[in-house]
Chains A and B, each alone.
Chain A
Amino acid sequence: MDETRIFADVKHSHVTFPEGMVLECGTRLKRLDVAYRTYGTLNAEKTNAVLVCHALTGDQYVAETHPVTGRPGWWDLVVGPGRPVDTGRFFVICANVLGGCMGSTGPRSPRDDTDADPPPVWGTDFPPVTIRDMVRAQKRLIDHLGIARVFAVLGGSMGGMQVLQWAADYPDAVFAAVPVAAAAHHSAQNIAFHEVGRQAIFADPDWQGGRYWQDGKTPARGLAVARMCAHITYLSEQALTRKFGRRLQNAPKNPTEAIGLFGDMFEVESYLHHQGSTFVHRFDANSYLTITRAMDYFDLTTDHGGDLATAFRGTRTRFCVVSFTSDWLFPTAESRAIARALNRAAANVSFVEIPSDKGHDAFLLDEPDFHRTLAGFLGGCAEHAGLR
């Protein structure tokens, strides 16, 4: 894994807000770029917009071939013609999060606080952003598109955090909200896993205190280890057992032959190595640090005086909270806590736990029960919203 090439620079369609944005930390970004993709057609009344919020390592390429990896969109199964989020009916928008590395302002963007020409990139000096900052950047985009109220905001994992933040901050701009496999705060365990990933990046000599971009390197080994560690948390024990069990690959043909202590011996190891090594071609290490930190900071309950219900008091948004049985990263208990807080706020809430053995990743995978639930919920909401 000595690939040190920074991943391909691709032009992403984006909108620039030259007035910039003041972040929650107080720093002012003088210029704000929001890279985004849309699918389907916005109706004349501008009432059929669905905003999809992506997860930690996701991006705006929801339902089309990814320009860097060449792989299908990450939510191809959910968004598209005839899919639960039917692009024949809805105008789907997805923006790369603030702090990301797919065209929105982030650590890879040029600094705006220097006279140097050309300005160096932010790198680790990029100001800390929060989930709320990400949502405010998306709100700019929605305003820019002339949409007063989005029909639905949905997303899984960190995307679900953004959904909750949207519903809390802009209740009148959200008709329906679908937080999937999410939580109102990042748990100590989740923060701990993130910290392992960050330390792996810091420990890579190529990271160079975050200034790896200066000589065109990337801390590929550290970032890959961070991804491997995180990837384990996205799966369940059952899923790993089903996929790999204890199967060996490259096992010695002769049983008496000494086996090496290291190397890809178990299939699960080789799978993780693959996950790690492909990740570094599409993700920036400093973005990874920035975004994991934003997730760690997220605590909607504390932001609202210790009672999550306060965040949603008086809301007219219709909620559908979804969790998966085998998800131990964002377990059902977290979703149930959200649903109960919404109950306390007398909100209109549906709450479903989908049986699945695929762990946290289930929200990205082929889960017919989830897709049926989502389609039905959106259909019901469309009826209430008077959408044709």
Chain B
Amino acid sequence: MNDSGPVRFIAKNMRVDLHLIGGMIAPGTRVLDIGCGDGELIEYLYRTKGCDARGIEIDMAEVSRAVGHGLAVMHGDADIDLAHYPDGAFDYVVLSRTLQAVERPREVLRQMLRIGTSAVVSFPNFGHWLVRWQLLRRGRMPLTPTWNRPWYETPNIHPCTIHDFFDLCAREGYDVAQWLAADEAGRRAPWRRYPRLANLFGEQAVVLLRRA
């Protein structure tokens, strides 16, 4: 992490993204990955699924690495640059573990489902029991392996729980076509049919949304 550069949420665990997000994306489709880092997911989707995958990334060093690796990545900011894409330009728009760090999550979601037919969103779950327990027991902002930066320097300005997210989707009229909870290492949690348990034990959620 470069002190002068933009703060990222956490180093992304690409293995998690590749399997959980990649698993929700059909082969041969057009994909836009927002906050794509050095483009590993894009490359994975291109190589293994023949997708036309592109990315936006705010950290210039990452952009440079991605383009230098032959990937179609542009420097841009999710809060600003999505507005410049036409309606329905992509089959999937992916936002991996970034929603909680953007200025206007609701607007970003709206843009994602305007640009894409589907959106794949993954985010760390603030409803996880350890977060709740730390806050309850110590009365201080939680510090967990997932939420691992102190409140005064975290880029995560909009944390939410799985419940909160589903709530927002219902309010905005988005269809949750598919979802799963997973632990930090990307192992699927068995809470698919029990959202309340997922919200308590899932460290992160991956959700496939469609325009209703």
Q: Report which A residues bind B (CB closer than 8 A).
A: 318, 320-321, 336, 339-341, 343-346, 348-355, 369, 372-373, 375-377, 379-381, 383
- Verify B68–A375 contact, CB threshold 8 A: yes
- Verify B67–A343 contact, CB threshold 8 A: no
Determine if B18 is an interface residue (Cβ-Cβ < 8 Å): no
- Verify B60–A355 contact, CB threshold 8 A: yes
Determine if B71 is an interface residue (Cβ-Cβ < 8 Å): yes
Complex Cα–Cα for A383 and B67 (A): 14
A interface footprint on B55-67 (CB within 8 Å = 1, 0 otherwise): 0000010011011
Interface bracket on B: 20 to 34
| B20-79 CB contacts (< 8 Å) to partner A | 52, 54, 60, 63-64, 66-76
Complex Cα–Cα for A345 and B74 (A): 15
How many pairs of residues, A versus B, come closer than 8 Å at their CB atoms? 70
Residue of B at shortest CB range from A340? B84
Among A318, A321, A377, max chain B CB count under 10 A is at A377
5 pairs from A and B in contact (CB 8 Å cutoff):
A341-B84, A345-B86, A352-B64, A352-B74, A375-B68
Complex Cα–Cα for A375 and B65 (A): 11
Determine if B172 is an interface residue (Cβ-Cβ < 8 Å): no
Residues of B within 8 A of A351 (CB): 63, 74-76
Residues of B within 8 A of A344 (CB): 84-86
- Verify B81–A340 contact, CB threshold 8 A: yes
Residue of A at shortest CB range from B55? A350
- Verify B75–A381 contact, CB threshold 8 A: no
- With A352-B64, A354-B64, A369-B64: A376-B85 Cβ-Cβ less than 8 Å: no
- With A353-B60, A355-B60: A376-B84 Cβ-Cβ less than 8 Å: no
- Verify B54–A348 contact, CB threshold 8 A: yes
- Verify B81–A372 contact, CB threshold 8 A: no
Residue of A at shortest CB range from B60? A353
- With A343-B85, A351-B75: A381-B70 Cβ-Cβ less than 8 Å: yes
Q: Shortest Cβ distance from A241 into chain B, in angstroms?
A: 21
Complex Cα–Cα for A96 and B64 (A): 31
Complex Cα–Cα for A355 and B89 (A): 31
Residues of B within 8 A of A355 (CB): 60
Residues of A within 8 A of B64 (CB): 352, 354, 369, 372-373
Complex Cα–Cα for A362 and B159 (A): 42
Interface residue from B67, B75, B76, B89 paired with A377 (Cβ < 8 Å): B67
Residues of B within 8 A of A343 (CB): 74, 81, 84-86
Going nearest first, the 7 A-B pairs with the smallest beta carbon separation are A380-B70, A376-B68, A351-B74, A340-B84, A343-B84, A346-B89, A350-B67
Residues of A within 8 A of B75 (CB): 336, 339, 351-353
Q: Report which B residues bind A (CB closer than 8 A).
A: 52, 54, 60, 63-64, 66-76, 81, 84-86, 89
Complex Cα–Cα for A373 and B74 (A): 12
Complex Cα–Cα for A355 and B2 (A): 15
- Verify A379–B70 contact, CB threshold 8 A: yes
- Verify B74–A376 contact, CB threshold 8 A: no
Residue of B at shortest CB range from A376? B68
Q: Shortest Cβ distance from B69 into chain A, in angstroms?
A: 5
Complex Cα–Cα for A324 and B63 (A): 14
Complex Cα–Cα for A157 and B81 (A): 25
Interface residue from A318, A340, A354, A373 paired with B72 (Cβ < 8 Å): A318
Residues of B within 8 A of A381 (CB): 70
Q: Shortest Cβ distance from B5 into chain A, in angstroms?
A: 11
Residues of A within 8 A of B71 (CB): 350, 380
Residues of A within 8 A of B74 (CB): 321, 339, 343, 349-352
- Verify B67–A352 contact, CB threshold 8 A: yes
Among B60, B68, B75, B84, max chain A CB count under 10 A is at B68
Residue of B at shortest CB range from A377? B67
Residues of B within 8 A of A345 (CB): 86
Residues of A within 8 A of B63 (CB): 350-352
Residues of A within 8 A of B67 (CB): 320, 350, 352, 373, 376-377
Residue of B at shortest CB range from A349? B74
Q: Shortest Cβ distance from B175 into chain A, in angstroms?
A: 24
Residues of A within 8 A of B85 (CB): 343-344, 346
Complex Cα–Cα for A349 and B63 (A): 12
- Verify A376–B60 contact, CB threshold 8 A: no
Residue of B at shortest CB range from A332? B75
Residue of A at shortest CB range from B68? A376
- Verify A372–B68 contact, CB threshold 8 A: yes
Residue of A at shortest CB range from B85? A343
Among B54, B74, B75, max chain A CB count under 10 A is at B74
Complex Cα–Cα for A373 and B73 (A): 11
Besides A349-B72, A350-B74, 4 other CB < 8 A contacts? A350-B63, A351-B76, A353-B75, A383-B70
Complex Cα–Cα for A376 and B39 (A): 13
Complex Cα–Cα for A340 and B68 (A): 20
